[in-house]
Amino acid sequence: MSHGLSVGELEELERLAVEVASEAGQLIVEQRPAGLGVEKTKSSATDVVTVMDQRAQDLIRARLRAARPDDGFLGEEEGGAAATSEVTWVVDPIDGTVNYLYGIPAYAVSVAAVVGDPTTPGQWQPVVGAVVDPVGGVLFRARLGGGAWSSAGDRAAVRLAVTEQSELSQALVGTGFGYEASVRRWQALVLLRVLGEIRDIRRFGSAALDLCHVATGTLDAYFERGLNPWDLAAAWLVVTEAGGQVTGLGGGAPGSAMVVAAAPSLLPSLHTVLSDAVSAADADTGPGQP
């Protein structure tokens, strides 16, 4: 997807993404209430949104609006804005909210600058991404054409590269599950078929971190149905700038129907197994499957 942003502008967007994601990361860790309250529910009782989620998004949004008032905004929490520039910020203030609620240290702040319409699969693309793991103290960042990098504390940044795994039977694969019971049943049916074809499965509970694990080579691949643009936007670019590919099922654009991320050497065999598994799960669940 073409864009009119110069390298200098992309660098500026990257600096801003890193700054606001880091600030929000600090906020959610330092001010995480001891007896963390559940503010409201979304699609089901297990989909927990905390007060901190909204506060972190408000902070990010205010910083972005002050720095770039013409940009659009799409966040997981309430309040979006259309762009008059070509940039839209796509933000998940806490990816891994259930982990956050339970105090499991695998959640992240995800901030991406994208071009195109992030609500329509195939019509948008991230140009900058920052994912902050505030408990681990790790930052993952990427800029289109600038590589993917991780850094922790004062240590020098490390350039990321996906694994060279090409044997699906040896691949460690991440996935996640949605909040709706019907979606989870379908996902379990898919997983049943995939499990026999791979080394093993991991479910950490934060799609943004799962994707960054693919970029670092900690996971060989990742797939999930039901992701929203904000779960995906920043880490998608981290994976592709690390040499990986992020697609939908069968190679189209990633979207809520399916996100598959892996090294190019692994993707074809993973697609084949996943396509078969999806067809079987669709047949099992019948019409109205998620």
Binding site for ligand IPD (CB under 6 A): 76, 92, 95-97, 176-178, 205-207, 224, 226-227, 231
Nearer of residues 5 and 278 to ligand IPD, judged by Cβ = 278
3-class SS string, 185-251: HHHHHHHHHHHCCCCEEECCCCHHHHHHHHHHCCCCEEEECCCCHHHHHHHHHHHHHCCCEEECHHH
CB-nearer residue toward ligand IPD: 149 or 230: 230
Which residue, 48 or 115, has its beta carbon nearer to ligand IPD?
Answer: 48
Min dist. Cβ of residue 249 to ligand IPD (A): 16
CB of 272 to ligand IPD, least distance (A): 23
Q: In terms of CB distance, is 126 or 176 closer to ligand IPD?
A: 176
Least gap, CB of 8 to ligand IPD (angstroms): 32
Pick the closer one to ligand IPD by CB: 226 or 229.
Answer: 226
The closest residue (CB) to ligand IPD is 176
| Distance between CA atoms of residues 112 and 50, nearest Å | 21
Least distance between ligand IPD and beta carbon 162 (Å): 20
Q: How far is the CB of 256 from ligand IPD (least distance, A)?
A: 9
